[in-house]
Amino acid sequence: MKFWTSEYTFNHPWTHVAQAAWRKYPNPMNPAVTSIDVIDRQVVKGVLHTHRVISSQWGIPSWVQSVSIMGSPNLMYANEKSEVDPQKQTMILKTRNITFCKYIAVDETLWYQPHPENPQKTLLRQEAIVLVDGVPLSGYLEGLLTSTISTNANKGRQAMEWVLRKINDEMKEFSALIKLEAH
């Protein structure tokens, strides 16, 4: 079993970052994510609960694909369950793989909340637990998956910054249009 953690501070308020998280895919930093499908969404006591299925192409090495018990699917799937509490200003996303779940368990959690020292910034805490069981080289695969998670987390933060810039540009464009129409 391998553990991975990370923290990152966005120089944007929580409301902007939470909005960007919903628009994160597709993005040029991580083209492996091919689709996100909403399975269920409901508001319970002011908290938005969402269940989504994420489809992605991982580019699994050929030697891993050759392990007969794992097969070689073109697409990988994961469940994502999230809670957004606008009153507490928290967004929690929990993801677990569906593909290979008999042999590989990757549980990832992301917490977005206002930074405790500056509420105009947002703190992202990430955690992943990787467990590989019942396949050759389990420890090696856990390390490989943990390394991939770290790389993808960096791409994910870059993607969020890209979306935040895109949203800011859209707002500037919208404001300019409103000013033109007002004259």
Cβ–Cβ < 8 Å for 72, 58: no
Q: pLDDT at position 179, please?
A: 82
Q: How many structural domains compose the chain?
A: 1
Report pLDDT digits (tens) over 71-121: 556 788 999 999 999 999 999 999 999 988 889 999 999 999 999 999 999
Q: Residue 182: pLDDT above 90? A: no
- Reading across the β-sheet that carries 104-114, which strands appear in turn? 2-10, 122-132, 104-114, 90-97, 76-85, 47-56, 33-44
Longest CA–CA span in the chain (Å) reads 70
Range of the domain at 28: 2-182
Q: Residue 75 is part of a domain; what is its CATH number?
A: 3.30.530.20
Q: pLDDT at position 69, please?
A: 47
The pLDDT-based confidence of 177 (bands split at 50, 70, 90) is confident
Cα–Cα distances (Å) from 102 to 33, 54, 98, 105, 134, in that order, read 22, 18, 9, 8, 8
